[in-house]
Amino acid sequence: MSKPMSTSASGPRTASVRPDDTTPAMCFDRATLAYGGRVVWSELSMTVQPGEFLAVLGPNGSGKTSLLRALLGLAPLAAGQLDVLGRPPRRGNPAIGYVPQHAGFDRDVPLRGRDLVGLGIDGHRWGFGRLSRADRARVEAALESVAARVYADAPIGRLSGGEQQRLRIAQALVGDPQILLCDEPLASLDMRYQQEITELIGDWASDKRGTVVFVTHDVNPVLGLANRVVFVVNGRWAAGSTDEVLTSESMSRLYDAPVEVLRVRGRIVVVGEGSGAGFDLDEPHHLPGHVGAHA
C-alpha cells in the first residue's frame, strides 16, 4: 500500500464567510477506498470548502470515478472517514448534482430534453406522478439557464453531443444542489463545446457559490477555474493548489519516475524523461517516456 504524499489543509478563502459556510462541502479523513480487492486510493485526507472547484486528475482506472461514487454514497470506504456537508455520504443526496460523461442517447429513445431535466426533479421518486406547475417552471428555468429551450422538445437522441451535455447540466442543477459532481463531462466533445460546458459550470459555481468536483484526465480546460487539485495514480495521491500539485517534483514522486511539468502558453503539459516511445498519463504502466499533452 502506498503512502499519501502531501496533504494540504484548505484555509478560509474569502473574508465574507457566511455562518452556514463553515461546514466543509466535503471532508476526507484518512479515507481508503478498495474496489474488487484493489486499493484505489489510501489514506486520502483533504477538505474542500463550499465554493471551491476541485479538479480530480489522474490516468484512467486510477480511481477518479470511485471518488465520485464514494461521495454519492454508492461505494463505502474500506477505512477512514468521509463527510459530505457535515454528514456521512448517503444515496440520493438532494444536495448533490451529477453530470456524467457524454455517452450519447440512442437516436430513437422517446425522450425530450425537458423530460431528461424533469427526471432530475422527480425521477427517483416512486409512483407515476406528473410534475407540478412549480416543478415545470423549475425545469423551464433550468433549460433557460443553459440556453437549451430552443431544442428542449426535440428527441434527445437527435441532438449534438454539446446540446446533450447542456441538458445534462440543466438536469443536474434543476434540484438546486450545493455540490456538483462532474465525471469527465468534456470527454468526446469538441473544443468549442468543451469551452461552453466549462463556462456553464464555472458560472453556476460563482453565481451560487457552489462546490464543484470535476473529474478529468486533461486539466487544461479547467485551469482557470480549478483552485484545488487532487491527482490520483496507482493508489497514491497528491492534493493542493494547481501550483503545488502540478510541479515536476510532485509529479515525479507520484509516478515514481522522472516527470517534467511544463507550462506552455497557458497550458500545462506533463512530459516523462527519456526519449522515444511515448506514453500518456492515461496509461501509467508503460513507463517512462513522453507523457503526452494531458495532465
Partner 1 sequence: MITQLIHLLGYDFVQNALVAGILVAVVAGLVSRFVVARNMSFAVHALAEVGFTGSAGFILIGLSPVLGLLSGSMLTALLIGALGLRIRERDAVVGVIMGFGLGLGVLFITLNSRYASEAFAILLSGAITTVSRDDLVLLGIVGAITLVGLGAMYRPLTFATVDPVVAEARGVPVRLISVLFLLLLAAAVAEAVQVVGVLLILTLLITPGATAERLTAHPGLATVASVGVALFATVGGILLALVTTVPVSVYVTTIAFVCYLSARLFSSLPIASIRRDRA
| Residue list 49-78, contact with partner 1 (CB under 8 A) | 68, 72-74
Axis-axis angle for helices 161-173, 133-145 (nearest 10): 130
Q: How far is the CB of 161 from partner 1 (least distance, A)?
A: 15
Q: How far is the CB of 170 from partner 1 (least distance, A)?
A: 12
Pick the piece of the chain touching partner 1 (CB under 8 A) from 127-135, 140-148, 235-243, 276-284.
127-135
Residues in CB range of 46: below 8 A, 6 or more apart:
7, 8, 10, 27, 28, 230, 239
Pick the piece of the chain touching partner 1 (CB under 8 A) from 4-12, 27-35, 78-86, 99-107.
99-107
**Which element (helix H / strand E) includes 47?**
strand 38-48
Residues 4 and 45: beta-carbon distance below 8 Å: yes
Tracing cell 425521477 back to the chain, one arrives at: 123
Query: 112 vs 209, which CB is nearer to partner 1?
Result: 112
| Residue list 138-197, contact with partner 1 (CB under 8 A) | 150-151, 153-156, 158, 168, 171-172, 181
Q: How far is the CB of 36 from partner 1 (least distance, A)?
A: 14
Q: Does 93 bind partner 1 (CB under 8 A)?
A: yes
Show the CA angle centred on residue 68, arms to residues 91 and 286, nearest 5°.
Answer: 145
Q: Does 98 bind partner 1 (CB under 8 A)?
A: yes
Q: Does 286 bind partner 1 (CB under 8 A)?
A: no
Residues 181 and 213: beta-carbon distance below 8 Å: yes
Strands 211-215 and 267-272: unpaired
Cell numbers standing for residue 7: 496533504
What is the spatial distance between Cα 201 and Cα 199, in angstroms, rounded to a whole number? 5
Axis-axis angle for helices 113-122, 161-173 (nearest 10): 30
Stretch 21-50: interaction string toward partner 1, x if CB under 8 A: ------------------------------
Query: 95 vs 287, which CB is nearer to partner 1?
Result: 95
Query: 153 vs 249, which CB is nearer to partner 1?
Result: 153
Determine the straight-line distance between the first and last CA of the chain, rounded to whole angstroms. 24
Q: Does 85 bind partner 1 (CB under 8 A)?
A: no
DSSP state of 209: T
Which stretches of the chain bind partner 1, using CB under 8 A?
68, 72-74, 91-93, 96, 98, 100, 103, 105, 108-112, 115-116, 119-120, 122-129, 150-151, 153-156, 158, 168, 171-172, 181
